[in-house]
Amino acid sequence: MTREPEKRTIKRSVITFPYQSVHLMGIGGAGMSPLAHLLLRSGVRVSGCDYQDSEVLHRLRADGADVQVGHCPSHINGQDALIISSAIKEENHERQAAVKRGIPVLHRVDVLALLMEPFFRIAVAGSHGKTTTTAMLGFVLEGCGLDPLVVVGADCLNWGRSYRFGAGSWFVTEADESDRSFLRLSPDIAVITNIELDHPNGYKDLDDIKNAFLHFLQRVRPGGTIIFNGLCPNARALLPHCPKEVRTLTFGRQEDDLWLEQVSWLKDGRWTARLQSPDGEIGFLEVRMPGAHNLVNAGLAVAAAFASGAEKEGVLRSLQNFLGVKRRLEIVSLARRIILIDDYAHHPTEIRASIEALQRTFEPKRLWLIFQPHRYSRTERFLKELSASLADADGVWLTDIYPADEVIRTDISSTHLIAQCAEQGIGPIYYRRKDQWEQMIEEIGRKAQEGDLVVVMGAGDISRIVPKLRDRLSKPSADRDEGKASDPQASADGG
């Protein structure tokens, strides 16, 4: 086990920032909005813009930000700095205006690094599970009285927001590997949840992303700690390459520093286990989220909490009260005994894990899936794997690919995924364009029956249908069909 890092003097109990007035482009994004809130709480004047209005923007306005819908170079008038994400390209007019006027342009991770500078820093990285692990870790540190600052990529259900402003000496954040921006952080504790190729738009292959994580490990501060998921071969393979001046801690196997025994799954969706170390049993671990993968996330969060010096009994006790993260197997409705789930999964590994967790937890009569593929590059690279990951659903409604910041393409589309599903004998698959989403909601409302489970899945904007779908599922339907595989209105061309 690791010991607590050597104490450093914290000059202030609040974050500091060198600019008095800043503008954030894409301020409603998952990585930008928590930074905006933290800057506001630190006394910085914050303005921002995004391409469409949202609940996130309403919250920012309520917290004091001047937020506009749409982009315009005049937004940077009077600003000391412009803050952007990797999605804001060099040709963007606001960014060009800032450069022309000599206004500093900061990447959001550079801002995050500045905010973290006075604190002990924990960065959670990995291809999957980093948002949940980060939120778990922040929550248990809070429960142990360490009062951390926390930045998460989605709302923690216990807090109702994606950040926590504390007066303690620890700052916890998830570290984004997708654009390699995690290589700008220098944590005291790094957590590696797993390593897998997930962003073919930014990485050539698995070796490329493993090399990026290797560089991330070199950025851990001397005397710090690196925590590995020992169950992930790609993460475990990096162990011999860690800097000599850092400690390592592994979770997963009996030969590791921490592992689980007597793992039990309870009918109410909880997982329980005995947390073990080479010195014997540490205590009872309980997780209220579905899925064996969340048991691994919990183990890593617990390991990081121990490495931070948190009291062990308090860590395990606090974990029992963690409710989860928005859009991570989130239960939206149980109306009329039809379970509606909103989930962020978009990679084949995540899709399989989510479906398996839901089927084991709820044992539905049928599982209906609405899936929005995310990015052309990911869909093209993982076409066969994506189609195979949909096989365990009783029916799939497939939407157009959500491009994110990629250029619109015509050489890869959801029809290619449908064709791959047909080749593998997977179906039924119902393709619905965005202008047919209302029709899709009505179709699902007719098809779903008591005992069924409906999952809205994807990392794009598909979650926008959730409120209407929830309302539709709560109403009895006089025109309810029997949920058969055939549907005369469904076809590969969306007709």
Rounded Cα distance between 71 and 320, Å, is: 44
Catalytic residue among 2, 94, 131, 326: 131
* 259-265 sheet: strands from edge to edge: 259-265, 271-277, 280-287
CA distances for 344 relative to 104, 154, 203, 322, angstroms = 34, 10, 21, 19
**DSSP state, 84?**
E
Task: Record the tokens describing residue 63, joined without a space.
Answer: 């917290």
Catalytic residue among 142, 174, 286, 350: 174
Task: Look up 130 and say whether it is catalytic.
Answer: yes
Rounded Cα distance between 163 and 94, Å, is: 27
Contact 260, 287 (CB under 8 A): no
**DSSP state, 122?**
E
Catalytic residue among 130, 210, 326, 447: 130
Tell me if residue 398 falls in helix, strand or coil.
Answer: strand
Rounded Cα distance between 438 and 16, Å, is: 47
Secondary structure element (H or E) that encloses residue 123, with its range: strand 120-125
Task: Look up 131 and say whether it is catalytic.
Answer: yes
Task: Record the tokens describing residue 273, joined without a space.
Answer: 């286990």
Contact 128, 321 (CB under 8 A): no
Rounded Cα distance between 95 and 91, Å, is: 7
The distance between the two most distant Cα atoms of the chain, rounded to a whole number of Å, is: 69
Peptide bond into 403 cis (omega under 30): no
Rounded Cα distance between 112 and 106, Å, is: 10
Task: Look up 450 and say whether it is catalytic.
Answer: no
Contact 406, 393 (CB under 8 A): no
CB atoms within 10 A of CB 415: 14
Contact 15, 112 (CB under 8 A): no
Which positions are catalytic?
130-131, 174
